[in-house]
């Protein structure tokens, strides 16, 4: 017997079922395009990117020239100046392509004369040459961006090889570090290096060299100088010389690559003797490190000299401190305290100390870092990050 096509199990899809599948496809498409980001976050991201793009182009605009003339002309002058700044960012061939696209969008149309002598003007709409040329220009720029992003991702992976993947295990201590680049690659650097007192024989004396550095600028130029700094530091340290000799020697290397002081580096160096907690340190123009006592008192470690790469003969006097049981050492780059929110207000050193102050040896180093970064992210919110962020925490455990 033939089955009834309307019997259970063979019921044709209803309109509601079709609608449900269509909605499901739309949702899948939306999640794929937006990567699951909320509408509010997408809008905040768009605003941040728009501000960054506007800043890029507006730097090339002569605003004094724009303000001349009658007030009603200024918006047109500003628009023309921004368009010209955008045009000059392109290669010569793509400039011509963009101009041709704009001309086509403004002027290309068809005139059709009917049998009655009437003239009908027809626009090609989305199939106009102008739209097609703009799409071609977008495809070319996107290809460049994808290629550059791939190269920067490779550079970022190389950078990750230059810094410790995880903190060292030092008996009696807990160490953690955090870094977040403003762009794909960064100019911040941090390291923990076991000292070799015998000049390369491999016998360690138990001391640990702590370094946090910040190259002036950001992105690719800063990342290149950071890699040079890392290689120079490792080579110099491997000779077994003292901290008092490492920093001036490193300054000499940086001066040779600083382009007359325009590419300088701030850095904090400290040599920790874990058994006693003795800390020999010097700062090269860096934000002072902060040592929090077990009682909550905080002291700054600011002894040192100018940033590396400024003066060839600069001296870097050393300071002495002691990390006692229950005390915590905090070292950070200026990106942490100079981060700004959407109102242009800085996170600031005072706010950083207010967040760090309640932390003590009952908190792990990772917990202290998480507490600081959570407060920083909450303050900055959706505002764009303008500088690299790096922070190191060294906590000495309480004696049992």
| Residues 37-76: tens digit of each pLDDT | 778 777 777 777 777 777 777 888 888 888 887 888 888 8
Task: Provide the percentage of residues in the chain whose pLDDT is more than 70.
Answer: 81
Q: How confident is the model over 125-161, as pLDDT tens digits?
A: 545 676 777 777 777 776 777 666 676 676 666 667 7
Domain extent listing, the chain: 58-63+78-162, 167-396
**CATH topology assigned to domain 167-396:** Phosphatase 2c; domain 1 (3.60.40)
- Phi first, then psi, for residue 164 (nearest 5°) are -60, 135
d(CA 130, CA 126): 9
Q: Which of 271, 272, 269 is nearest to 286 (CA)?
A: 269
* Per-residue pLDDT band at 27 (split at 50, 70, 90): confident
What's the pLDDT at 113?
53
Instruction: Please say if the pLDDT value at position 101 is more than 90.
Output: no
Three-state secondary-structure class, residue 121: strand
Kindly report the pTM of this predicted structure: 0.68
């Amino acid at each position: 017997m033939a089955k009834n096509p309307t019997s259970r199990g063979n019921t044709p899809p209803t309109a509601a079922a079709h609608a449900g599948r269509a909605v499901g496809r739309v949702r899948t498409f939306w999640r794929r395009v937006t990567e699951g980001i909320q509408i509010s976050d997408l809008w905040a991201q768009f605003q941040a990117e728009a501000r960054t793009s506007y800043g890029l182009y507006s730097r090339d605009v002569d605003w004094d020239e724009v303000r001349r003339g009658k007030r009603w002309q200024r918006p047109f002058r500003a628009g023309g100046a921004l368009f010209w700044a955008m045009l000059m960012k392109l290669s010569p061939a793509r400039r011509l392509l963009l101009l041709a696209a704009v001309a086509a969008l403004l002027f290309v149309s068809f005139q059709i004369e009917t049998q009655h002598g009437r003239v009908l003007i027809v626009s090609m709409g989305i199939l106009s040459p102008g739209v097609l040329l703009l799409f071609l220009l977008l495809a070319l720029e996107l290809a460049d961006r994808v290629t550059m992003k791939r190269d920067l991702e490779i550079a970022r992976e190389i950078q990750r090889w230059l810094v410790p993947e995880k903190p060292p295990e030092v008996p009696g201590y807990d160490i953690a570090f955090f870094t977040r680049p403003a762009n794909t690659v960064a100019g911040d650097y941090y390291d923990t290096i076991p000292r070799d007192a015998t000049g390369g024989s491999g016998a360690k004396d138990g001391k640990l060299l702590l370094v946090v550095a910040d190259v002036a600028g950001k992105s690719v130029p800063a990342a290149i100088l950071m890699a040079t700094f890392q290689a120079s530091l490792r080579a110099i340290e491997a000779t077994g010389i003292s901290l008092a000799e490492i920093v001036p020697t490193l300054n000499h290397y940086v001066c040779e690559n600083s382009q007359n002081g325009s590419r300088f580096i701030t850095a904090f160096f400290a040599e920790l003797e874990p058994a006693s907690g003795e800390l020999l340190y010097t700062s090269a123009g860096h934000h002072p490190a902060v040592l929090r006592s077990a009682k909550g008192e905080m002291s700054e470690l600011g002894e040192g000299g100018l940033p590396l790469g400024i003066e060839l003969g600069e001296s870097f006097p050393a300071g002495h401190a002691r990390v006692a049981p229950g005390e915590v050492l905090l070292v950070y780059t200026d990106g942490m305290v100079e981060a700004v929110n959407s109102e242009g207000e800085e996170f600031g050193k005072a706010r950083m100390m207010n967040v760090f102050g309640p932390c003590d040896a009952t908190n792990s180093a990772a917990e202290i870092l998480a507490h600081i970064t959570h407060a920083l992210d909450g303050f900055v919110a959706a505002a764009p990050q303008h500088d690299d962020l790096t922070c190191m925490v060294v906590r000495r455990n309480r004696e049992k």
